[in-house]
Amino acid sequence: MKMSAVDVARLRTAILNLLFPPRCVGCKKRGAWFCAACLAVVPRIVPPLCCCCGEPLERPGARPGDLCYNCRREPLQIDGIRSVALFEGPLRQAVHHLKYTGQRDLASSLGSLLAEYWRGNRLPANALVPVPLHASRQRERGYNQASLLAQELAAATGLPVIEGCLVRARQTASQMTLKRLERKVNVREAFACVDDRLAGRQVLLLDDVCTTGATLEACAIACRQAGARSVWALTLAREK
């Protein structure tokens, strides 16, 4: 029997969990990295949303198809962005552990949130493309968290993951401390496609967190230049 990368990761997790019982990032209970009770209360984003960037619209009377203030002023160059949940509480802790403390086992719990989203909301896609890290950052971390999430969604949907085509050509300053416009300038031309595997594809970019959409927009521009037919993005979390 041939095992997929996700199967191998699950087996590895099962063995490690026996040796070192995990504790939930939310409630600290033993038994799982992100327990079912904490997963259930992650604040899912629900309509009405901006039809482009996916930001929840709080104004009264907002309807599907409406644009938010930022998208009306300056439309994003991506077909659409959607996010599963708000970046707060245990989800924020979980993403932090996935990225910075090497807890790659969290990817399967977090992937279950993406799969749940997909069951209720299909986006136009026939290829999953994780937002790449710069090669030096990936070496340092040992993995790309966006790629782990893409593999989980691929296992749930059967969509192929295409990696190594979209690359981060330039190391960028951390987006955390930058303002909206600075973020756009910071990531502009940071991404490029190095082969033609995305030509004619309906690309779905995958990432852990969306803040202003500037990174996803820069990726979308590179995918379009490589001939992608459409580019949407799905992120696990969204900064408020």
* CB nearer to Zn ion: pick between 70 and 202: 70
Among 9, 49, 50, 231, binds Zn ion (CB under 5 A): 50
For strands 191-193 and 166-168, give the pairing. antiparallel
Alpha-carbon gap, residue 96 to 176, rounded angstroms: 13
Positions in 22-41 near Zn ion (CB under 5 A):
24, 26-27, 35, 38
Find the binding residues for Zn ion in span 164-223 (CB under 5 A): none
Tell me how far apart the alpha carbons of residues 33 and 94 are, in angstroms, rounded to a whole number. Answer: 8
Q: In the 8-state DSSP scheme, what is residue 9?
A: H
- Footprint (CB under 5 A) of Zn ion, residues 58-87: 68, 71
- Residues 114-143 close enough to bind Zn ion by CB under 5 A: none
52 forms part of the interface with Zn ion (CB under 5 A): yes
Q: Minimum CB separation from Zn ion for residue 47, in Å? A: 13
Question: Of these, 9, 42, 49, 53, which contacts Zn ion (CB under 5 A)?
Answer: 53
Interatomic CA distance for residues 205 and 192, integer angstroms = 14
List contacts with Zn ion (CB under 5 A). Answer: 24, 26-27, 35, 38, 50, 52-53, 55, 68, 71
